[in-house]
Amino acid sequence: MRIVPVRLGERSYAIKIGAGLLPRLGAECARLKLGRRSAIITDASVGPLFATTAHESLIAAGFEPLLITIPAGEKAKNLKVVQSCYDQLAAHRLERKSFVVAMGGGVVGDLAGFVAATYLRGIPFVQVPTTLLSQVDSSVGGKVGVNLAAGKNLVGAFYQPKLVLCDLDALKTLPSRQFASGLAEVVKYGIIYDARFFARLERDLPKLIKLEPQALTAVIARCCEIKAQVVGQDETEGGLRAILNFGHTIGHAIENSFGYGKYLHGEAIAIGQVLAAQLSVAGHGLPVAEAIRIEQLLARAGLPVRIRLSATQRKKLLAAMLLDKKVSAGEVKFVLAKSIGTVDFGCRVPQAAIEQTLMNA
């Protein structure tokens, strides 16, 4: 087991990464000195696989867990589902020292985290991310929230978990398309922060795809470390943290304008990263050879790297970008790469360049 500490003063916590962690959930929670009442929030895909183990582990450790199962998928990440969770927590009489376990992928983590952040103005929560994407992405950063009809993650909070357990065994049941989606974020960490890590991914990709525990643990831990370093310098997204959005400006717009579900998050940001790399070549000095390495690694990971857009779709995509939270004074700003491992945020890109890139996507 590897432990990655996330240092945020009073809000510091640990990410534990390894095989066989889920059956230890109760024992790990017992060390946090929380109240007895608790709730596991999971979804209809993940619940049948892991809820019994989690539930029994909590009971064995003396807790009184309530199991809440929300519908699977991005569409469930809305305020109606949040309301239903609140009502169940209140009926089970969760108090301020009670806690929520968020067990599932990013949707469950974001939604359950938001529920924990706002129920009784905030109760503790523990994350058990069960997808590669959520293990490397939502384990760190404290971003929780839900979607509006107008866009993704438009409602939320910054709220830190007390503990994150990344059980590698959970990845064994993950469909390969979902696993690849997680790899898109993994590759991103190399691009934005660590050229050596990127090179290591180019070398170790086959091992990762085979779920070799050692390679996987090292990679997940490094992603969490990088994100923790970035977030530790900028907890509430005033500056540096923006680099984590490499590929996301276009990626979110793709998810949004094609409707949630058509592209998985990682698939959309794989395309977004390839396009951001092209914008970086055009206006930020990224060598063409490096843009090609980015595209090739993402493609080898089993991710889409191109998207064919009609004129209408291009227009829709641009409009979606303008509603993005990262927009300031009506101007879309990008994270662009100078080289693999070095990026800048807040880069202005002329709208014509964006349109040009989308036409060649």
Contact pattern from residue 228 through residue 267 relative to its own copies, giving x for each residue in contact according to CB under 8 A and a dash for the rest: --------xx------------------------------
Is residue 8 a contact residue for its own copies (CB under 8 A)?
A: no
Contact 68, 118 (CB under 8 A): no
Is residue 289 a contact residue for its own copies (CB under 8 A)?
A: no
Is residue 9 a contact residue for its own copies (CB under 8 A)?
A: no
Q: How far is the CB of 256 from its own copies (least distance, A)?
A: 12
Catalytic residue among 237, 300, 315, 338: 237
300 is catalytic: no
Q: How far is the CB of 332 from its own copies (least distance, A)?
A: 12
Buried b (16+ CB within 10 A) or exposed e, 233-256: eeeebeeebbbbbbbbbbbbbbbb
Binders of its own copies: how many residues, by CB under 8 A? 37
Is residue 315 a contact residue for its own copies (CB under 8 A)?
A: no
147 is catalytic: no
Is residue 157 a contact residue for its own copies (CB under 8 A)?
A: yes
Residue 77 φ/ψ region, left for φ over 0, alpha for ψ in the -120 to 50 degree band, beta for the rest: beta
284 is catalytic: no
207 is catalytic: no
Is residue 65 a contact residue for its own copies (CB under 8 A)?
A: no
Query: Which residue from 87, 74, 187 is spatially nearest to 137, judged by alpha carbons?
Result: 187
Span near its own copies by CB under 8 A; candidates 60-68, 76-84, 167-175, 348-356: 76-84
Catalytic residue among 55, 162, 241, 284: 241
Strands 151-158 and 143-148: antiparallel
| Among residues 154, 195, 199, 282, the one that binds its own copies under rule CB under 8 A | 154
Q: Which helix (H) or strand (E) holds 337?
A: strand 333-339
Q: Which is nearer to its own copies, 38 or 280 (CB)?
A: 38
Encoded tokens for 101: 């376990």
Span near its own copies by CB under 8 A; candidates 19-27, 67-75, 120-128, 347-355: 120-128
Buried b (16+ CB within 10 A) or exposed e, 136-172: bbbbbbbbbbbbeeebbbeebebbbbbbbbbbbbbbe
∠ CA 198-202-204 to the nearest 5 degrees? 105
Is residue 360 a contact residue for its own copies (CB under 8 A)?
A: no
Q: How far is the CB of 31 from its own copies (least distance, A)?
A: 19
Encoded tokens for 360: 């060649």
75 is catalytic: no
Is residue 318 a contact residue for its own copies (CB under 8 A)?
A: no
Q: How far is the CB of 251 from its own copies (least distance, A)?
A: 18
Catalytic residue among 55, 152, 162, 265: 265
143 is catalytic: yes
CA distance 355 to 351: 6
Residues 121-140 that bind its own copies (CB under 8 A): 121-122
CA distance 265 to 255: 7
Please classify residue 80 by burial: count the beta carbons closer than 10 Å to its beta carbon, then call 0-12 exposed, 13-18 middle and 19+ buried.
Answer: exposed
Q: Which residues is 37 bridged to in the sheet?
A: 64
Residue 104 φ/ψ region, left for φ over 0, alpha for ψ in the -120 to 50 degree band, beta for the rest: left
Just list the catalytic residues.
Answer: 121, 143, 185, 227, 237, 241, 245, 248, 252, 265
| Binding residues vs its own copies (CB under 8 A) | 35, 79, 82-83, 86-87, 90-91, 93, 95-97, 117-122, 143, 145, 148-151, 154-158, 236-237, 322-323, 325, 327-329
